[in-house]
């Protein structure tokens, strides 16, 4: 079978890292006999917006909705275009309209990556953050009253649906069950957020009954962030609401020093729509155009894409190649203390794939 991939580089360093991501994908595909076909799109970018006055063409869903996956660079350029136009006009639109209700990110201490935590070795930290990606705190219900008076207030509703909560929990429990430790941690704040969070807890308890082989626990988000720093070795799969998952999946990579190289998947598990794979970093206007961006976030996202497509071996070969490249000082980019440029680093990883 040939996989059809929609490639969207987007803005800034997105355009610089994607060629390296594609280079490595092609190397892995060749070694493992996987057939990939790439279609390139220029929308979801400031350039496109400048020409067309919108982030994407009206028929964007027809253009990319039938692909097997979407390989994405980065979007946004706050100095030129407000986030709510650029992000809500593309990335968040994908999540909602392609029902990518899982946001999946690894937290892994890699060899050769300087970690801000003391006394942790590669292997000590290795877990996944599973984030609800369509509802919760990112809602569009709310508004403002009595503007410019002392009575002024704004309100925004957090919304959790039975369907929305249950399906993300099911995904997280299944992931936990597939791993050696079979351990799930749920992020809550039911002692403070007194309506939605107790509901989340209730659904976790109900779902847990269907997965008797999975050990589970829960922490309030405040102490959970503390435990990411103090006891990152405690975790295996961590599941949270849209906001809590967002926080944990930046904090986790920060604890392992990998925030610049972390990958992510915005996944529609049923495959009714394509999933989006993108590096966690953004378009980074400050270093765009210099050829020094670290391509590993994009490359690693490519590996997640292959795994999602069912090509586990090919995906794993990329992650292994990343680990070996990171361990060799000279082949890394500046941000990690090496002296390779974006292309040199991408080529190094591609060469390591086997």
Ligand X SMILES: CC(C)[C@H](C(=O)O)[C@@H](O)C(=O)O
List of residues contacting a second copy (CB under 8 A)? 83-84, 87-88, 115-119, 137-138, 140-144, 146, 149-163, 189-196, 199, 221-223, 225-227, 229-230, 242-243, 246-247, 249-251, 253-255, 259
State which residue, 236 or 246, has the beta carbon closest to ligand X. 246
Q: Which residue has the tokens 């201490």?
A: 109
* Total of chain residues touching ligand X, rule CB under 6 A: 5
Write down the least CB distance from residue 60 to a second copy, Å: 21
Write down the least CB distance from residue 318 to ligand X, Å: 21
Write down the least CB distance from residue 157 to a second copy, Å: 5
* Pair 342, 73: CB distance under 8 Å: no
Write down the least CB distance from residue 310 to ligand X, Å: 25
- DSSP run (H or E) holding 10: strand 2-10
Q: Which does 326 bind (CB under 5 to 8 A by kind): ligand X, a second copy, none?
A: none
Q: CB neighbours (10 Å) of residue 39?
A: 13
State which residue, 23 or 281, has the beta carbon closest to ligand X. 281
Alpha carbon dihedral 235, 318, 258, 239, in 10-degree steps, equals: -30
Is 191 an interacting residue with respect to ligand X (CB under 6 A)?
Answer: yes
Alpha carbon dihedral 273, 183, 126, 22, in 10-degree steps, equals: -10
* Pair 237, 185: CB distance under 8 Å: yes
Q: Which does 142 bind (CB under 5 to 8 A by kind): ligand X, a second copy, none?
A: a second copy
Task: Name the residue number minimizing CB distance to ligand X.
Answer: 192
Q: Among 249, 313, 306, which Cα is nearest to 277's?
A: 306
Report the C-alpha gap between 296 and 301 in whole angstroms.
Answer: 8
Write down the least CB distance from residue 319 to a second copy, Å: 22
Write down the least CB distance from residue 243 to ligand X, Å: 8
State which residue, 129 or 165, has the beta carbon closest to ligand X. 129
State which residue, 115 or 134, has the beta carbon closest to ligand X. 134
What CA–CA distances, in Å, run from 189 to 159, 176, 201, 230, 243?
15, 22, 9, 19, 12
State which residue, 32 or 281, has the beta carbon closest to ligand X. 281
State which residue, 24 or 261, has the beta carbon closest to a second copy. 261
Of residues 99, 126, 137, 246, which one binds ligand X by CB under 6 A? 246
* Pair 284, 12: CB distance under 8 Å: yes
Coil/strand/helix, residue 146:
coil
Do strands 183-188 and 215-220 pair parallel, antiparallel, or not at all (unpaired)?
Answer: parallel
- DSSP run (H or E) holding 269: none
Q: Which does 206 bind (CB under 5 to 8 A by kind): ligand X, a second copy, none?
A: none
* Residues in 62-101 that interact with ligand X by CB under 6 A: 87
State which residue, 123 or 142, has the beta carbon closest to ligand X. 142
Q: Which does 141 bind (CB under 5 to 8 A by kind): a second copy, ligand X, none?
A: a second copy
Q: CB neighbours (10 Å) of residue 218?
A: 17
* Pair 105, 246: CB distance under 8 Å: no
Q: Which residue has the tokens 């009714």?
A: 272
Residue ranges that bind ligand X, judged by CB under 6 A:
87, 191-192, 222, 246
């Amino acid at each position: 079978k040939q996989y059809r991939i929609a490639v969207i580089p987007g803005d800034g360093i997105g355009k610089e890292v994607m060629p390296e991501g594609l280079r490595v994908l092609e190397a892995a595909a060749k070694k493992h006999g996987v057939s990939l076909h790439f279609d390139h799109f220029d929308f979801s970018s400031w350039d496109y917006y400048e020409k067309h006055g919108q982030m994407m063409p009206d028929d964007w869903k027809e253009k990319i909705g039938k692909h097997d996956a979407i390989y994405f660079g980065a979007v946004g350029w706050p100095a030129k275009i407000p986030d709510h136009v650029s992000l809500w006009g593309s990335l968040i639109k994908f999540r909602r309209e392609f029902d990518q209700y899982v946001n999946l990110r690894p937290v892994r201490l890699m060899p050769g990556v300087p970690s801000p935590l003391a006394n942790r070795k590669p292997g000590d930290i290795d877990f996944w953050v599973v984030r609800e990606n369509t509802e919760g705190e990112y809602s569009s219900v709310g508004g403002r009253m009595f503007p410019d008076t002392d009575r002024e207030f704004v309100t925004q509703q957090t919304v959790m649906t039975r369907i929305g909560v249950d399906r993300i929990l099911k995904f997280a429990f299944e992931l936990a069950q597939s791993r050696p430790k079979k351990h799930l941690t749920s992020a809550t704040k039911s002692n403070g957020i007194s309506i939605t969070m107790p509901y989340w807890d209730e659904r976790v308890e109900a779902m847990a009954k269907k997965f008797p082989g999975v050990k589970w626990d829960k922490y309030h988000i405040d102490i959970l962030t503390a435990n990411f720093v103090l006891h990152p070795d405690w975790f295996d799969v961590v599941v949270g609401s849209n906001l809590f998952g967002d926080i944990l999946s930046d904090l986790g990579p920060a604890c392992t020093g990998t925030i610049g190289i972390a990958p992510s998947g915005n996944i529609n598990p049923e495959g009714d729509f394509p999933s989006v794979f993108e590096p966690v970093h953004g378009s980074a206007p400050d270093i765009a155009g210099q050829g020094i961006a670290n391509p590993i976030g994009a490359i690693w996202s490519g590996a997640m894409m292959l795994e999602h497509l069912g090509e586990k071996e090919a995906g794993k070969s990329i992650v292994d190649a990343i680990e070996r490249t990171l361990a060799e000082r000279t082949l890394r980019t500046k941000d990690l203390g090496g002296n390779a440029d974006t292309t040199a680093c991408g080529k190094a990883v591609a060469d390591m794939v086997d």
